[in-house]
A and B are shown apart, each in its own frame.
Chain A
Amino acid sequence: MNKILQIGWKDLIILFRDKGALLLMLGAPFVLTLGLGLVTGAFSGGSNGLTGIAMVVVNEDSGQLGQALADMFFSPDLEDLLVPQTAVSPQAARQLVDENEVAAAVIVPASFTDSILPDNSGQLGKPVSIEIYANPARPISASVVDSIVQGFVHQVETSMVSVNVAMTQLVMNGRIAPTNADDLMALGQEMGQRFITQDSAAPIIRLERDEAAAEAATNPNYLAFLAPGMAVAFLMYTVALGGRSILAERDSGTLARMLIAPTTTTEVLAGKVLGIYLTGAAQVSVLILASSLLFGLRWGSLPGVILLIATVAAAATGWGLLLASVATRPSQVSSLGTALMLIFGILGGSFAQIPFSGILGQLSKITPNAWAIDGFTTLGQGGTLADIAPALLALVVMALVLFGTAVLIFQRRSGALIAR
């Protein structure tokens, strides 16, 4: 047992002294978490680019609706979302879009109000359209501006249709007499004003959400997802490097030397496996500790975190061993390990939350990443050991299956393992 521990400890020390290896073991996940934190606004209270959208409005309408729309962009409700400005002409507004200064220009045409609200004689003007001149380089921001304008137009349309429906029904059902056109017109106009300006009516449909989950979904803490994702992604690199060391020791002759000593092949291999496992567990622990201290990230239940580190390191070690068992050269393990790290990273959700379905959804389940991220985020949200039991079980099963397979392959290739 002592020999196994010594070999394992030796491998741990070697890897943690390798500056080149540390770049990907600790540097890359840390830098990428930092980078993702920056671009998602996780370090600035969630203020990402979908706040402060620069846009410009030109109001050529002399009626109340054009002014109401223009005023809405400058309202306190939208002050976090938009950075509006006015332009003197449609040409000037379009130029701001062409120069990539703003995400969209909203151009309200002359007689927009007249096209929706009937005049005193009940006549409507010719239909005209609000133009949204969208910046193709900022399609998401432009679509936000579009949806705001749509919301306004829908409200106005619905109000006018409400007046139309109400008046029609009142007459049809004999609740008012269609005797005096002027009275009807006056009633319709009064109703229209009331409908357009009233915003206190109870909603037709109310969305009921779990408050805590809705808050977390509306203002997600991306770091809680990114940090474990990155830690696990680069764990795959570490275990591949560990697997590589088995073949590297064979090539450099140190494996043969160890076997000359009173040490069995099983002890040497067990020591190597222990080394990979300890290195992986240490790597994830360091990253978790660093993100707690530097980013103030809360990881949740300590026993849960320890168990997850232990099991994900075991599952990842299984993958590292499998790679070493099928590869013929150390460089092959390195290359395949880096490839596996990237593929598992994307499939398991370390790099992006992609809603995989079908076969890709099933494939994601063979990655330690998917289970570990699930477990870590559950713990971070206050989950208990019972909540992460499925993830722990899946990782343990994965580790056992991969260890078993690797051992079988090693046994069949035992000669090749000791000498090329």
Chain B
Amino acid sequence: MFQKITALAWKDTIIRFSSRTELLFFLILPIVFTLLLSGGASSNQNGDVDNRVPLLLVNRDDSEPAAMLVETLASSDVVRIDEQPLAEAETLFADEQAPALLVIPAGFGEAILGGETAVLELRQLPDNNNATAADRAVQTAVSAVSRPWAAARASVQEADRLEAFPDEAARRAYFQQATALAESLLADEPERIVVTQPEAALGEASTYDQAAQQSAGQLITWVFIPLLGTSALLAFERRYGTLRRLLVTPTRRSTYLLGTITGQFLLGVVQMALLIGFGILVLGVNWGRSPAGLTLMLLAFGLAAVAFGVALGTFVKTERQANNLSIMLGMSMALLGGCWFPIELFPPAVQTAVHVLPTTWAMQGLSDLLMRGAGVAEILPETAVLGAFAAVFFVVGIWRFRYE
């Protein structure tokens, strides 16, 4: 029996890789997608990875406040400023080379030093989430850079309340003195907020880790689709009548299914190992915190996916139907399972509803391992659910399986 299973698994591997283009889907496209979506393909002039949102910046004011704002924006984690003259910036913005354009107008610094409200012009591409991110980053920078000026303005107003300034020059000198004092005092303020995490996750980034999200999410997407494609193998065998021929050999239905499943499952495991290696070596994702937990999680996910493929194979009629259904279901379920975007961004009701999908549990398990520092014990619930999916799909597949 073992020999038969091995032979069937090897035969399916040969069929699947009979065309070299299969390597595109097995390895090349998953790597390309992981790289692009994690921002790993964007690098700055130093060659460092820089996946911040580009923000076109036009600084038409040669003043210290304007320079301070530019400096604060330059240190943003969210936006990467691209300083340009107005005409070039407008052309680039019109060409949608950047989702937002910030103009610091002439007289910006003058207004601030005069205690007036300074105005910044922000243009954004509509219906664009990067424009929203740029907007928030500009607001954060404005809020941070305004603090000493806010204190200085309050000080000038208090002085004015007691005794009016003799002239504008005196008022301005008072404002500048106050700004310097406020900057010095704010710099000396102690740290009043500390961000901590569960002990198990210590050492992991407390902020959103796009590389970890995409390394896990794209792994699930690109392994899930071909494992669903097991359904195409069954359709292929039916089309060529090879399943009927098996009837004349002393091969049981369960042996045939076990051989097919084993082959595809092992290929899935190899693919997952390669993608994890890529995540560790190229993206620096910490996949190695709990090797036992990771192994358990991947095996459970692989089994659930291949079982789904077998069940699907008993419903489809042709290879094209099977292949296209695998792509459609695989992409949709990966998307809804939080493999493309963090599930925390979904509406609350959708977050709950998507737990009917195996991809949600797989993503949750891998996120727990990667971001929450979970071990075997913590991911047992996800593993159990994936195991249950596998059992149900296998039962459906075996029950409905026909040789022709």
Contacts and interface: CB of A to CB of B under 8 A. Distances in A.
Contact of B138 (A47, A139, A207, A380): A207
Interface in B98-142: 98-100, 112, 117-132, 135, 138-140, 142
B122 A209 contact: yes
B123 A209 contact: yes
A175 B43 CA distance: 55
B402 interface: no
B249 interface: no
Interface in B195-248: 195-198, 201, 204-209
Interface in A31-77: 31-32, 35-36, 38-41, 44, 47-50, 52
Interface in B135-154: 135, 138-140, 142-154
B96 to A, nearest CB: 6
Range for the number of chain B residues in contact with chain A: 35 or more
B346 interface: yes
B123 A170 contact: no
A176 B162 contact: yes
Nearest to A139: B208
Nearest to A100: B372
A374 interface: yes
Contact of A217 (B128, B145, B177, B194): B128
A85 to B, nearest CB: 15
Most buried by A among B181, B192, B332: B192
Contacts of A213: 123-126
Interface in B356-385: 367-368, 371-373
B346 A49 contact: yes
A164 B155 CA distance: 9
B222 to A, nearest CB: 10
B174 A173 contact: yes
A204 B150 contact: yes
A106 to B, nearest CB: 9
Contact of B335 (A32, A128, A165, A216): A32
Interface string B69-109: 10000000000000000000000000011111000000000
B267 to A, nearest CB: 17
A147 B140 CA distance: 9
B345 A50 contact: yes
B32 interface: yes
Nearest to A44: B347
A301 interface: no
A331 B232 CA distance: 14
Main secondary structure, interface of B, reads: helix
Given A20-B321, A28-B328, A346-B33, A35 B126 contact: no
A171 to B, nearest CB: 11
Interface stretch (A155-163, A271-279, A314-322): A155-163
A52 B33 CA distance: 31
B13 interface: no
B368 A137 contact: yes
B96 A374 contact: yes
If over half of A's interface residues share one DSSP class (helix, strand or loop), that class is named, otherwise mixed; here it is: helix
A326 interface: no
Contacts of A140: 208, 342, 344-345
Contacts of B196: 131-134
A352 B320 contact: no
A341 B138 CA distance: 36
A342 interface: yes
Interface stretch (A250-258, A260-268, A303-311, A356-364): A356-364
B142 A346 contact: no
B318 A20 contact: yes
Contacts of A154: 143-144, 147
Contacts of B178: 165-166, 169
A157 B186 contact: yes
Contacts of B198: 94, 97-98, 133, 135-136
B12 to A, nearest CB: 17
Contacts of A346: 32-33, 36-37
Interface string A212-235: 111011101110110000000000
B341 A39 contact: yes
Contacts of A142: 195, 206
B192 A130 contact: yes
B325 interface: yes
B117 A204 contact: yes
A23 B181 contact: no
Interface of A: 18-21, 23-24, 27-28, 31-32, 35-36, 38-41, 44, 47-50, 52, 94, 97-98, 103, 115-116, 127-143, 146-147, 149-151, 153-154, 157-158, 161-162, 164-166, 168-170, 173, 175-176, 191, 195, 201-210, 212-214, 216-218, 220-222, 224-225, 331-332, 335-336, 338-339, 342-343, 346-347, 351-358, 360-361, 374, 377, 380-381
25 contacts: A19-B321, A20-B318, A31-B328, A35-B336, A39-B335, A39-B347, A41-B346, A97-B198, A116-B192, A129-B193, A130-B193, A131-B194, A131-B196, A136-B197, A136-B372, A139-B208, A142-B206, A168-B181, A169-B181, A202-B117, A204-B153, A205-B146, A213-B126, A217-B127, A351-B340
10 interchain residue pairs of minimum CB distance: A216-B126, A20-B320, A335-B21, A20-B321, A217-B124, A127-B190, A23-B324, A162-B154, A162-B151, A166-B155
